[in-house]
């Protein structure tokens, strides 16, 4: 099957050009192919922009064990609708993915259910160093330094030293200092105000844990990716990356601040917590300056009934994956950043950070994971139109300009203007960690 996408404005690594793209056997066969090339399908993309598919490196799709909140079928459809063609999922499912066998079980589930491409982190515990040293077919090791329960919580210094010293896979972490969070929680033990969530999971908790992991990464010369930066103080640490450290910001922290609790309440209760308007402004500045390389979602859905419980019974986390690209395209429409920067942070950089083979760019030989977007299309985010299983969005009622309209995974169209094609599924992402990560492949 040969497909020619023509008349689109194509976002290439070198800039935006009006060229045709030839897709064959799941790959990008040619950019600006010969005019006489015979094809099976022609897609006229006049007036639209063609982007590489989004790579979201931080999601919680809840399967196995918590499928009343989300599952791989619904979540991968939400990905396809939102222009996300590859996701990397966190290990805190039930059971937690802390051994190769449990990672392999999740890979097998996705092979039967996921409409888009997928990968799964292995979770660190204080006791599974042998599993971490031998893990394969994973993007990296996930450590919860705070904000977890059971044996996925790793905050003891000896265990952290051994993980950084004795493993070779890239490491990523949720960085909130557990002792600080617990001490703050005792101070606000009688609270029923969700705004206190940002006082419990405060700036100090984030900064202490971030400094701690940066020290570990630098002393042990170990690649480290900082998840969901939330404070301006953390961004100031990122210039001294030493070719080892990358970072990301997630949509809840880019889009909301503590001032939004009055309007949205527990819907924007997330871990780490949202911070001040000034922090939010510094996050945007760090994104524009490349102090922060990646934009992700931390898609972490709960049912509406769960989220509507009074604080602190309400769980932290929110869905966002099917609106993530549209939210960022709306920022392009408003002039905050360029379309090329959206592609760099949502497609190219996460693929490079995690050494994903043939993903993140529109280039010859790369996988034909593509999304066609209409930068002039204006729609509202509506709860009743959400594909994610929980069926709600913190952006309900928001009007956005710039939306995905068609998505291809490995050259196969999986979504077109509200309709899904489910006759073919995605594939497991391939990781080549000999590539050396983001800083080894350019800036």
How many Å apart are CA 164 and CA 96, to the nearest integer?
21
| CA neighbor of 91 nearest in space, from 134, 133, 151 | 151
155 as an active site residue: the answer is no
C-alpha 90/C-alpha 96 separation (Å) is 9
Q: How far apart are CA 250 and CA 227, in angstroms?
A: 8
- Cβ pair 3, 41 in contact under 8 A: yes
Determine the Cα–Cα distance for residues 97 and 280; give it in Å rounded to an integer.
32
Chain position carrying tokens 């080892």:
244
Cis, peptide link before residue 64, omega less than 30° from 0? yes
Beta bridge partners of 16: 11
Contacts of residue 276, defined as CB under 8 A and 6 or more positions apart, other chains included, come to 257, 258
Distance CA 352, CA 40 (A): 32
- How many whole angstroms separate alpha carbon 351 and alpha carbon 57? 9
What is the Cα 378 distance to its own chain's centre? Answer: 24
CB 191 within 8 A of CB 312: yes
- Catalytic residue chosen out of the listed positions 57, 177, 279, 298: 298
Tokens of 202: 């405060």
Active centre residues (catalytic): 298
């Amino acid at each position: 099957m040969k497909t020619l996408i023509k008349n689109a404005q194509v976002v290439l690594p070198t800039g935006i050009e009006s060229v045709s793209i030839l897709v064959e056997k799941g790959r990008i066969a040619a950019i600006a192919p010969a005019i006489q090339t015979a094809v099976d399908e022609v897609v006229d993309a006049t007036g639209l922009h063609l982007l590489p598919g989004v790579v979201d490196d931080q999601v919680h799709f809840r399967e196995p064990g918590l499928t009343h909140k989300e599952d791989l079928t619904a979540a991968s459809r939400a990905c396809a609708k939102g222009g996300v063609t590859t996701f990397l999922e966190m290990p805190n499912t039930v059971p937690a993915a802390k051994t190769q066998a449990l990672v392999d079980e999740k890979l097998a589930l996705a092979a039967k259910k996921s409409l888009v491409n997928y990968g799964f982190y292995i979770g660190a515990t204080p006791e599974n160093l042998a599993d971490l040293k031998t893990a394969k077919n994973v993007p990296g090791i996930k450590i919860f330094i705070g904000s977890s329960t059971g044996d996925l919580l790793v905050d003891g210094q000896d265990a952290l030293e051994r993980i950084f010293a004795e493993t070779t896979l890239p490491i990523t972490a949720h960085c909130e200092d557990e002792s600080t969070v617990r001490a703050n929680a005792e101070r606000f033990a009688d609270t029923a105000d969700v705004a206190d969530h940002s006082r419990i999971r405060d700036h100090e908790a984030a900064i202490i844990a971030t400094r701690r992991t940066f020290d570990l990464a630098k002393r042990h010369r170990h690649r480290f990716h900082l998840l969901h930066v939330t404070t301006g103080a953390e961004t100031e640490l990122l210039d001294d990356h030493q070719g080892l450290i990358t970072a990301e910001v997630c949509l809840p922290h880019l889009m909301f601040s503590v001032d939004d609790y009055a309007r949205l309440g527990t819907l924007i209760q997330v871990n780490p917590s949202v911070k001040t308007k000034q922090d939010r402004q510094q996050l945007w500045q760090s994104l524009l300056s490349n102090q922060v390389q990646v934009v992700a979602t931390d898609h972490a859905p709960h049912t509406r009934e769960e989220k509507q419980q009074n604080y602190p019974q309400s769980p932290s986390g929110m869905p966002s994956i099917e609106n993530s690209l549209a939210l960022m395209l709306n920022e392009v429409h408003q002039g905050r950043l360029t379309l090329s920067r959206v592609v760099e942070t949502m497609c190219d950089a996460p693929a490079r950070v995690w050494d994903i083979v043939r993903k993140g760019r529109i280039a010859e030989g790369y996988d034909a994971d593509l999304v066609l977007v209409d930068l002039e299309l204006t729609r509202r985010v509506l709860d009743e139109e959400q594909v994610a299983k929980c069926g709600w969005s913190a952006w309900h009622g928001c009007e956005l300009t710039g939306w995905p309209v068609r998505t291809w995974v490995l050259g196969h169209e999986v979504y077109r203007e509200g309709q899904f094609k489910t006759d073919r599924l995605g594939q497991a992402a391939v990781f080549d960690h000999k590539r050396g990560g983001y800083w080894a492949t350019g800036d």
